[in-house]
């Protein structure tokens, strides 16, 4: 049974039951609804401010995990950057110095990739700055590693070429050791036939006829002939890198024009042909078209003491054999 409400009528001075109209009931209902809604809003606001929903907690965990992963990636990138910097330092100050190559400019090693628009697709996210900075570092390291890889290709090529160059430069005494004797050096010498002081453009080694003569370095035979200008039977070798050698007054040849020879390979034998007064080898070294002192190229198979002795003998002004 519904409760009946009463009120005191001041006009009739009597207690009368309250008669609620539909409008009154509607107002009362609306007040209750509004109060409930206000309470709900207050509760929700407090909940959102001080408490996390399960979904928010899951998102927070995912965000924390993502940041942790990016931090791990950046730590690894720091390690890679340090290792790469050490490699670059070694490359510029050791390997390239050995092969007489210029260091790679820092502007080339650290050149940026693309412009600002390259990373524009990463804008607009909650962690755009973190993502962009990480992607930029990865791109930068990738670029530097590419440059370093190309540099190592160049160093490998230079090392290979250096090995070829070292094998090609004249570097040995071109006659059997123990059978030779240096009797005339480079420079002005008394000609054995004309008895006048003339330039001697090589060195003379006395040795018995038939003593083997060796190529002083790798190269290609450009002359293997009997020369009409006093050299007699002779061989000339082009070693590349601006070097040539000449071997004269042979008794016989062991190579042909166009033949590739290696250092130490027999190219002929000591003789007494051409303008010569005794069996010997006349040996010349030509560098970039200029005849130079061959004794400076005997460093590969003699001791410092033997080298000093050769220098002393070669400096004496005496009579050559050719």
3-state secondary structure 89-152: HHHHHHHHHHCCCCCCCHHHHCCCCCCHHHHHHHCCCCCHHHHHHHHHHHHHHHHHHHHHHHHH
Instruction: Give the per-residue pLDDT at 227.
Output: 86
Q: Do 151 and 210 belong to one domain?
A: no
Instruction: Give the per-residue pLDDT at 285.
Output: 93
Instruction: Give the per-residue pLDDT at 230.
Output: 85
| Contact between residue 243 and residue 291 where contact means Cβ atoms under 8 Å apart | no
Final residue belonging to a domain, choices 168, 196, 231: 168
Determine the Cα–Cα distance for residues 73 and 64; give it in Å rounded to an integer.
14
Asked, for residue 61, whether it belongs to a domain, the answer is: yes
| Contact between residue 252 and residue 269 where contact means Cβ atoms under 8 Å apart | yes
Q: Do 62 and 162 belong to one domain?
A: yes
Asked, for residue 192, whether it belongs to a domain, the answer is: yes
Asked, for residue 204, whether it belongs to a domain, the answer is: yes
Instruction: Give the per-residue pLDDT at 191.
Output: 54
Parts of the chain with a pLDDT under 70: 1-2, 4, 6-9, 47-48, 50-54, 56, 100, 112-130, 177-198, 299-322
Asked, for residue 19, whether it belongs to a domain, the answer is: no
Asked, for residue 286, whether it belongs to a domain, the answer is: yes
Determine the Cα–Cα distance for residues 304 and 123; give it in Å rounded to an integer.
71
The tally of domains found in the chain comes to: 2
Alpha helices in the chain (DSSP H): 22-50, 54-90, 96-98, 106-109, 128-168, 304-314
Domain limits for position 227: 181-314
Instruction: Give the per-residue pLDDT at 37.
Output: 87
Q: Do 215 and 292 belong to one domain?
A: yes
Final residue belonging to a domain, choices 121, 146, 168: 168
Residue indicated by tokens 């024009």: 257
Q: Do 192 and 249 belong to one domain?
A: yes
φ and ψ at residue 200, rounded to 5 degrees: -110, 110
Final residue belonging to a domain, choices 116, 137, 168: 168
Instruction: Give the per-residue pLDDT at 159.
Output: 79
| Contact between residue 172 and residue 108 where contact means Cβ atoms under 8 Å apart | no
Q: Do 257 and 144 belong to one domain?
A: no
φ and ψ at residue 256, rounded to 5 degrees: -120, 160
Overall pTM surpassing 0.85 (yes/no): no
Contacts 24+ apart (CB under 8 A), 147-155: 147/104, 147/108, 147/109, 148/84, 148/87, 148/88, 148/91, 148/109, 151/91, 151/96, 151/104, 152/91, 154/101, 155/91, 155/95, 155/96, 155/99, 155/101
Determine the Cα–Cα distance for residues 246 and 235; give it in Å rounded to an integer.
6
Asked, for residue 10, whether it belongs to a domain, the answer is: no
Q: Do 282 and 193 belong to one domain?
A: yes
Asked, for residue 215, whether it belongs to a domain, the answer is: yes
Which residues, including other chains, have CB under 8 Å from residue 137's CB and lie 6 or more apart?
74, 77, 81
Strand, helix or coil at 187? strand
Q: Do 73 and 187 belong to one domain?
A: no
Asked, for residue 104, whether it belongs to a domain, the answer is: yes
Instruction: Give the per-residue pLDDT at 256.
Output: 95
């Amino acid at each position: 049974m519904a409760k009946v409400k009463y009120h005191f009528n001041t006009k009739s001075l009597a207690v009368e039951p309250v008669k609620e109209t539909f409008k009154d009931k509607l107002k009362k209902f609306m007040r209750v609804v509004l109060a409930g809604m206000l309470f709900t809003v207050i509760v929700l606001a407090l909940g959102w401010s001080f408490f996390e929903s399960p979904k928010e907690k899951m998102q927070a965990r995912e965000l924390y995990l993502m940041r942790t992963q990016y931090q791990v990636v950046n730590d690894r990138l720091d390690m890679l950057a340090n290792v790469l910097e050490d490699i670059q330092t070694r490359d510029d100050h050791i390997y390239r110095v050995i092969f007489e190559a210029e260091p790679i400019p820092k502007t080339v090693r650290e050149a940026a990739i693309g412009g600002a628009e390259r990373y524009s697709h990463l804008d607009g996210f909650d962690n755009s700055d973190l993502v962009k900075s990480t992607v930029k570092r990865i791109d930068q390291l990738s670029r530097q590693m590419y440059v370093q890889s190309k540099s190592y290709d160049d160093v490998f090529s230079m090392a290979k070429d250096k090995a070829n160059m070292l094998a090609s430069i004249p570097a040995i005494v071109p006659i059997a050791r123990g059978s030779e004797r240096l009797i005339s050096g480079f420079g002005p010498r008394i000609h054995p036939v004309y008895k006048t002081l003339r330039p001697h453009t090589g060195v003379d080694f006395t040795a018995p006829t038939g003593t083997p003569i060796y190529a002083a370095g790798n190269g290609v035979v450009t002359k293997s002939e009997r020369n009409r200008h006093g050299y007699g039977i002779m061989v000339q070798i082009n070693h590349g890198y601006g070097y040539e050698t000449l071997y004269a007054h042979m008794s016989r040849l062991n190579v042909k024009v166009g033949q590739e020879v290696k250092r130490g390979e027999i190219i002929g034998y000591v003789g007494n042909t051409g303008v010569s007064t005794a069996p010997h080898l006349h040996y010349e070294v030509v560098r970039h078209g200029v005849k130079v002192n061959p004794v400076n190229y005997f460093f590969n198979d003699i001791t410092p003491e033997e080298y000093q002795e050769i220098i002393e003998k070669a400096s004496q002004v005496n009579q050559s054999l050719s």
